[in-house]
Amino acid sequence: MTLRVTIWNENRHEQINPAVQKLYPNGLHGAIKDGLDENGDFAITIATLNQPEQGLPDSLLDATDVLIWWGHQAHNEVLDDTVDRVQRRVLDGMGLVVLHSGHHSKIFKRLMGTTANLKWRESTDKERIWIVSPNHPICEGLPEYFEVEREEMYGEHFDIPDPDELVMVSWFTGGEIFRSGLCYHRGRGRIFYFRPGHETYPTYYNPIVRKVIANAVRWAQPLQNGPKPVYGLGFWNKPLEPLPAE
């Protein structure tokens, strides 16, 4: 089955930063799309913040198996209505892959229920990413560890709930460590957070980073069967068995 993937990118750095324009002439979303094209058969849609309904109308979300999210400087411009639509689809089974600074997106913080704050440093750090769950599907075909020669540092403490599965841990030249590959389940939906991907570095051209994202999309795809949960308040439930008389 061909998975339907929507890549959402706020697409702001590419418009105002010449260094990002030069590095990612087709946008960060373009490089992420190229990586998926190299690693599987996906039907890919590009969505950006400035499009109608912020690129994520119900009609598109309902036709999306997995949503990839990249955001940074425009988190506060994402409307609560947009977050509501995405959350509904995740709870109904749509997968969500959150990249890099998307940890501070409204949708990720809502699904986590925490601030998602962390330490950070944009410098000359090398990132070494260790695979700590080698049998996990997201790690299929990966080496024991891989390196990104230059990346923005994220450091602990990372204010998130304990992940359902910890898949990857990063070490940086400055000595910090970070939980960098995290799996969660919310409702019927699967969520993967993957740390690398600062906009001024060529991280999304790294072949192993690209493979991780493709593996994550396959892992996060919706379940095909299973009961659909009911969410909300005030639902009246008819008993399955007769209740005793009062």
Q: What is the mean pLDDT of the chain?
A: 94
Query: Quick one: CA torsion of 186, 190, 191, 194, rounded to 10 degrees?
Result: 150
Q: Is residue 32 part of a domain?
A: yes
Average pLDDT over residues 28-32: 97
Residue 230: which pLDDT band, with cuts at 50, 70 and 90? Answer: low
The amino acid present at 27, given as its one-letter code, is: G
Alpha helical stretches, state H, 11-93: 13-16, 18-23, 27-38, 58-61, 80-92
Q: Is residue 138 part of a domain?
A: no
3-state secondary structure at position 106? helix
Q: Is residue 212 part of a domain?
A: yes
Report the 10 Å Cβ neighbour count for 29. 23
Report the 10 Å Cβ neighbour count for 58. 11
Domain that holds residue 9: 3-113+180-220
Residues 6+ apart with CB under 8 A from 134: 144
pLDDT for 176-211, tens place per residue? 999 999 999 999 999 999 999 999 999 999 999 999
- pTM value? 0.93
Q: Is residue 131 part of a domain?
A: no
The residue to which tokens 């991907």 are assigned = 197
**How many angstroms separate the CA atoms of 120 and 152, rounded?**
7
Task: Give pLDDT, residue 166.
Answer: 98
**How many angstroms separate the CA atoms of 101 and 151, rounded?**
12
Q: Is residue 82 part of a domain?
A: yes
Say whether pLDDT at 126 is over 90.
yes
Q: Is residue 166 part of a domain?
A: no
Residue 90: which pLDDT band, with cuts at 50, 70 and 90? Answer: very high
Average pLDDT over residues 107-129: 96
Q: Is residue 137 part of a domain?
A: no
Task: Note whether 39 and 102 are within 8 A (CB).
Answer: no
**How many angstroms separate the CA atoms of 208 and 129, rounded?**
11
Domain count, the chain: 1
Task: Give pLDDT, residue 245.
Answer: 82
Task: Give pLDDT, residue 238.
Answer: 77
pLDDT for 10-19, tens place per residue? 999 999 999 9
Q: Residue 27 is part of a domain; what is its CATH number?
A: 3.40.50.880
